[in-house]
Amino acid sequence: MATPDELREQVRSTYAEAALRVNESSGGCGSGSCCADTAGDAARFGERLYDAEQRGQLPDAAALASLGCGNPTAVADLREGETVLDLGSGGGIDVILSAKRVGPTCLAFGLDMTDEMLALARRNVDEAGVENVIFLKGIIEEVPLPAGSVDVVISNCVINLSPDKARVLTEIARVLKPGGRVGVSDVVAEDHLTAGQRSERGSYVGCIAGALSQSEYRAGLEAAGFDDVEITFTHEVGDGMHGAIVKATKAREPAHEALVRPARTVGCC
């Protein structure tokens, strides 16, 4: 069985390959990635999960690099004046759309561990003419932002790739302000599937073997301090495996604690 570091390296190398393929104008799916591994139907993953208006706001390379299983910018209902963090920002599609939604006086952060994707994302942001974006290099289990610094955390088919999902959910709670929200797209398994059965349906880097079940996702979010957890299946990506919308709200601190421990902020808000 692969170690967490080995799994992370498999993911990094696969998505580095995907970024390089975009640079070569030969498409965004690296071998073994989500869209290449499981999606005979391209509508299950990638740019087709965004509407035509959104795709029209993006450089071609950003759309080609989309390997996600949903549209988290719509899931999170982003609003002007919010600070947003995209975990596993890839080629920058969701960061660009988020930056446009929150307005020029606020920030959209993108976090990725892959140099090739970060380079591609920065070029895409420059081409899109968006200035309120900051990209960070790092892993989603250790977000390089202070506690209580963002209003919304989004992610597109990335949490399932983490070897330590409980830590990811705890980090999401840490960086969110009290009352902040998470709105992600991810692959989620039906509760009856065992870990072994999930592995039979697809690889780890293909966004299948490492997916949480619906009840595991809910329990993880609640353990990390989230309320109002909603997990909604949107489309099937394999037998018993679904693209899903995952939403939750970080519990607000009691008033007396908020007075003595105000949340630190980053950016405009």
pLDDT digits (tens, 9 = 90+) for 119-167: 999 999 999 999 999 999 999 999 999 999 999 999 999 999 999 999 9
Q: How far apart are CA 84 and CA 219, in angstroms?
A: 24
Query: For residue 207, what pLDDT band results from cuts at 50, 70 and 90?
Result: confident
CA nearest neighbour of 154 among 194, 129, 182:
182
pLDDT in tens, 156-200: 999 999 999 999 999 999 999 999 999 999 999 999 999 999 999
Q: How far apart are CA 25 and CA 28, in angstroms?
A: 8
Distances (CA, A) of 242 to 7, 37, 147: 22, 14, 32
pLDDT of residue 43: 47
More confident residue, 74 or 25: 74
Using CB atoms within 10 Å of the CB of residue 2, give its burial: 0 to 12 exposed, 13 to 18 middle, 19+ buried: exposed
More confident residue, 228 or 15: 228
Query: For residue 2, what pLDDT band results from cuts at 50, 70 and 90?
Result: confident
Look at residue 255 and tell me whether its pLDDT is greater than 80. no
pLDDT of residue 23: 67
Amino acid identity for residue 269 in this structure: C
- Torsions phi, psi of 16, nearest 5? -65, -40
> pTM score, two decimals?
0.84
Q: How far apart are CA 87 and CA 141, in angstroms?
A: 10
Query: Over pLDDT 70: what percentage of the chain?
Result: 76
Q: Please state the rounded mean pLDDT for residues 14-39.
A: 63
Q: Residue ranges per domain, the chain?
A: 4-260
Q: How far apart are CA 126 and CA 120, in angstroms?
A: 10
Distances (CA, A) of 265 to 16, 175, 211: 32, 9, 32
Look at residue 215 and tell me whether its pLDDT is greater than 50. yes
Which CATH code fits 4-260? 3.40.50.150
pLDDT of residue 70: 72
Which residues, in sequence order, are CB contacts of 265 under 8 Å at separation 6+? 83, 148, 149, 177
More confident residue, 21 or 245: 245
Mean pLDDT of the chain: 84
Q: Please state the rounded mean pLDDT for residues 81-90.
A: 96
What the block records as the tokens of 57 is: 């706001």
Query: For residue 244, what pLDDT band results from cuts at 50, 70 and 90?
Result: very high
CA nearest neighbour of 14 among 209, 156, 161:
161
Q: Please state the rounded mean pLDDT for residues 259-268.
A: 45
pLDDT of residue 48: 56
- Which range, of 106-110, 111-115, 204-208, averages the lowest pLDDT? 204-208
More confident residue, 42 or 237: 237
Provide the CB-side half-sphere exposure for 196 (13 A, CA): 0
Look at residue 86 and tell me whether its pLDDT is greater than 60. yes
Look at residue 108 and tell me whether its pLDDT is greater than 60. yes
More confident residue, 38 or 125: 125
**Edge-first strand listing for the sheet containing 150-156:** 133-137, 108-112, 84-87, 150-156, 176-189, 241-250, 226-238
Q: How far apart are CA 208 and CA 87, in angstroms?
A: 18
Query: For residue 252, what pLDDT band results from cuts at 50, 70 and 90?
Result: confident
